[in-house]
């Protein structure tokens, strides 16, 4: 699998290029709890569906503290 990154966009190509593929675009704040949950969902979608996934990382300008406490 080839992963292409352009600044704040991560592009995951479909598994089978010769077949039709769905296009999925996701916009997330990389340090939010939602972004942590959407990663496994996108991974399953890519395995089940033949899809081209684009993840746009949209950061919040100012955080008083890091939202994730792990």
Structure-token pair, residue 67: 């939202």
Asked if the structure places residue 62 within a domain, the reply is no
Asked if the structure places residue 30 within a domain, the reply is yes
Asked if the structure places residue 70 within a domain, the reply is no
Asked if the structure places residue 68 within a domain, the reply is no
Instruction: Report d(CA 2, CA 33) in Å as an integer.
Output: 26
> Per-residue pLDDT tens for 22-59?
999 999 988 888 888 998 999 888 888 889 999 998 87
Asked if the structure places residue 36 within a domain, the reply is yes
Asked if the structure places residue 19 within a domain, the reply is yes
Residue 1 has pLDDT above 70, yes or no: no
Q: How far is CA 47 from CA 31, 34, 40, in A?
A: 25, 21, 11
Beta strands per DSSP E along the chain: 4-6, 9-12, 22-28, 51-57
Pairing of strands 4-6, 9-12: antiparallel
HSE-CB at 19 with a 13 A cutoff on CA atoms is 8
Report the pLDDT value the prediction gives residue 57, as an integer from 0 to 100.
Answer: 87
Asked if the structure places residue 69 within a domain, the reply is no
The range of the structural domain enclosing residue 15 comes to 4-57
Asked if the structure places residue 66 within a domain, the reply is no
Number of domains in the chain: 1
């Amino acid at each position: 699998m080839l992963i292409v990154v352009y600044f704040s966009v991560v592009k995951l190509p479909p598994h089978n290029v010769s077949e039709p593929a769905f296009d999925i675009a996701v916009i997330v704040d990389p340090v939010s709890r939602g972004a942590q949950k959407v990663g496994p969902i996108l991974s399953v979608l890519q395995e089940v569906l033949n899809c081209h996934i684009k993840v746009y990382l949209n950061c919040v300008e100012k955080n008083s503290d890091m939202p994730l406490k792990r």
